[in-house]
Homo-oligomer: A and B are copies of this chain.
Amino acid sequence: MTTSSSSPLGLHRVIDPPGVLPQAAWQLDPTPAIAADEVRIRVDRLNLDAASYRHLRETYAADPDKIRAAVREIITTRGKMQNPATGSGGMLTGTVEEVGPTSPLGLKPGQRIATLVSLTLTPLAITDGLSRWDTHSEQVPCEGHAILFARSIAAVLPDDLPVPLALAVMDVCGAPALTQRVVKRGSTAVIIGAAGKSGSLSAVAARQAGAAKVIGVVPTEAEAELLRNPAATQSSLVDEIVIADARDPVGLAKKVEEAGGPADVTVVCVDVPGCEGGAILSTTQGGTVIFFSMATSFSAAALGAEGVAADVTMLVGNGYVPGHADLALNLVRTTPALRALFERRVRHEGGQP
């Protein structure tokens, strides 16, 4: 299939509907033969998006056979792993198998890589029926292949960090990169879901950007403890901890204010619907809210801000910021408490950190 009619955006892989970008497509063509500017990856692991994984577990009542069957069905039908209910995908790791002569990605056969573009636009075929996946974790060991386009993003896995750890970090690396870009020296940052993966990275990024105060919001005392003291180190990842239900705007805003808020920058990192109002009410007039959760409702955010006469800048969390993977990996390398929290999260999810 090595052909010159390929598109850097992958348009030539779109089956249905024709002419749309791969992410918007219902079905992609995962044929293994590559175009001149493509790369084929031998896949060894998928890392499902948190919202998608949660939806699958809840829909199939945590039944492993049903969850495996559902994911197999999605991949077979769509030629990619995009959960139709959540619209989200995830990422994958694998080994570079074949590189087209005009690929600009700089990859070489044999390199272990992670894709930093979403599974929602990555042609994918699975050959082992997902039989090795116990479904207790969003990390899915598997066999198959995937295709990268000229304008895809992939990172060579680092030698100095365990693969599941690096994968978990790179999966959410857009959040700390954008947080660091937006937070100004001396400001107050509120991280909603601060003990999670994107949340803890964003908290450390906010501190590194010079925030005078970082307030971490978590739902439970157990999550607060993780943030306070991730695995017996002495440092906390945040300056203040607020235990609150982020879906309760009024309760959240009150507690954030008591902890030193409102925020100049609020970062939403929890994958549950209904957090827009609380984030807006916890942010000062003229401040910024960054929404990283795929559970964010556009209209709830837009109308919510208008409804409380809130002059806040609201950003759609873009998963791509140049240099995001290196930035996030370096935060984990240089912040022992963050690494400890991540290792604990990865262990908890059933991967080997």
A interface residues with partner B (beta carbon < 8 Å) = 7, 9, 11, 19-24, 86-89, 116-118, 120-121, 151-153, 174, 248-251, 274, 277, 281, 291, 294, 296-322
Residue among A301, A302, A312, A321 with the highest chain B CB neighbour number at 10 A? A302
Contact call A313/B318, Cβ cutoff below 8 A: yes
Contact B311 A174 (CB under 8 A): no
Query: Given A311-B318, A316-B315, are A304 and B21 also a contact pair (CB < 8 Å)?
Result: yes
Asked if A315 contacts B312 (CB within 8 A), the reply is no
Q: Which 10 A-B pairs have the closest CB atoms?
A: A306-B319, A314-B316, A87-B299, A121-B307, A23-B307, A306-B320, A305-B318, A298-B298, A296-B298, A301-B316
Docked-complex contact B308 and A298, CB < 8 angstroms = no
List the B side residues contacting A117 at CB < 8 Å: 306-307, 309
Q: Residue on B with the closest CB to A286?
A: B322
Residue of B89, B307, B313, B314 near A22 (CB, 8 A) is B307
A183 to chain B, nearest CB (A): 15
In the complex where A9-B250, A250-B9, A321-B311 touch, is A306 in contact with B174 (Cβ < 8 A)?
yes
The answer on a CB contact under 8 Å between B19 and A250 is: yes
- Which B residue sits closest to A87, measured CB to CB? B299
B302 A120 Cβ-Cβ under 8 A: no
Residues of B within 8 A of A19 (CB): 248, 250-251
Note all chain B residues with C-beta closer than 8 A to A303.
23, 87-89, 118, 120-121, 319
A262 to chain B, nearest CB (A): 14
Q: Are B250 and A23 in contact (CB under 8 A)?
A: no
Within the complex, which residue of B87, B274, B300, B314 is in contact with A297, where a contact is CB–CB below 8 Å? B87
- Enumerate chain B residues within 8 angstroms of A87, measured Cβ to Cβ: 297, 299-300, 303
The residue that A314 contacts in the complex, of B86, B281, B318, with Cβ under 8 A, is B318
Name which residue of chain B comes closest to A122, CB basis.
B307
B-chain residues with CB within 8 Å of residue A22 when the two chains form the complex: 307
CB distance from A78 to the nearest CB of B (A): 14
Contact partner of A319 among B11, B86, B298, B302, CB < 8 A? B302
Most buried by B among A24, A153, A249: A24
Across the interface, do B304 and A312 meet the contact criterion of CB distance under 8 Å?
no
State whether A307 touches B120 (Cβ < 8 A).
yes
Distance (Å) between the CB of A250 and the closest chain B CB?
6
**Minimum Cβ distance to chain B for residue A295 (Å):** 9
For A320, the chain B residues whose CB sits under 8 A away are 305-306, 309-311
With contacts A23-B303, A310-B320 known, what are 13 further pairs, Cβ within 8 A?
A19-B250, A19-B251, A21-B304, A21-B307, A23-B307, A24-B249, A24-B300, A86-B299, A153-B309, A303-B319, A305-B319, A306-B319, A313-B315
Cross-chain contact B305 with A9 (CB below 8 angstroms)? no
Find out whether the CB atom of A297 lies under 8 angstroms from the CB atom of B298: yes
Interfacial chain B residues near A89, Cβ < 8 Å:
303
A321 CA / B285 CA spacing, docked (Å) = 10
Nearest B residue to A19 via CB reads B248
Q: Which residues of B contact A116 (CB under 8 A)?
A: 306
Residues of B within 8 A of A296 (CB): 298
Q: Which residue of B294, B301, B313 contacts A299 across the interface (Cβ within 8 Å)?
A: B294
Contacts of A249 in B (CB 8 A): 20-21, 24
